[in-house]
């Protein structure tokens, strides 16, 4: 009877953890971009989309994520995540991030697009590297116009 309880507890834990929808770590140098198919190596510019059902799509740059998201109904997407300049490999909510487009900060796909966790962080780099700041919604409009 004790064994059955232990087995039931382990089975319950597996069910709980397998149903969670969230980000996956990017395996830099091995994972490929779902949009352009390049290998993801840049630890500052990578991004992810996580769907409501838990499917994760990984990208080598935020601009690839923005272009790829056009294939989805917005209601299907749970998370937009992006790496940030100040903490490589750290994924943050892209919808809350601040973005800088600066010719002085190259990105993998040539859009010169870099994400920051806060507006203050972005302004510090903008002061040194120049460029234009965008919120997530402003960035989406900017990419639509191109």
Per-residue pLDDT in tens (0 to 9) along the chain, 146 residues? 555 444 444 444 444 445 678 999 999 999 999 999 999 999 999 999 999 999 999 999 999 999 999 888 889 999 999 999 999 999 999 999 999 999 999 999 999 999 999 999 999 999 999 999 999 999 999 998 76
The pLDDT value given to residue 15: 44
H or E stretch at 113: strand 113-116
CA 60 to CA 51: how far, in whole Å?
A: 18
Helices (H), the chain: 2-18, 62-68, 119-129, 136-145
CA 12 to CA 16: how far, in whole Å?
A: 6
- The pTM assigned to this predicted structure is 0.84
Q: Where are the domains of the chain?
A: 22-145
Closest CA to 31 of 93, 83, 97, 87: 83
CA 94 to CA 99: how far, in whole Å?
A: 9
CA dihedral angle for residue 123, residue 129, residue 131, residue 134, rounded to 10 degrees = -40
CA 97 to CA 82: how far, in whole Å?
A: 8
The pLDDT value given to residue 146: 64
The pLDDT value given to residue 11: 44
- In three-state secondary structure terms, 5 is helix
């Amino acid at each position: 009877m004790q064994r059955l309880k232990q087995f039931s507890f382990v089975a319950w834990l597996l069910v709980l953890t397998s149903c969670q929808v969230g980000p996956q770590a990017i395996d830099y140098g091995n994972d490929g971009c779902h949009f352009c198919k390049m290998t993801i190596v840049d630890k500052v510019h990578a991004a992810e989309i996580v769907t409501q059902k838990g499917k994760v799509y990984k990208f080598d740059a935020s601009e690839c994520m923005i272009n790829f998201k056009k294939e989805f109904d917005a209601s299907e997407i749970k998370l937009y995540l992006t790496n940030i300049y100040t903490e490589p490999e750290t994924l943050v909510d892209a919808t809350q991030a601040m973005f800088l487009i600066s010719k002085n900060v190259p990105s993998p796909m040539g859009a010169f697009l870099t994400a920051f966790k806060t507006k203050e962080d972005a302004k510090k780099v903008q002061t040194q590297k120049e460029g234009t700041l965008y919120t997530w919604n402003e960035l989406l409009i900017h990419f639509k116009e191109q």
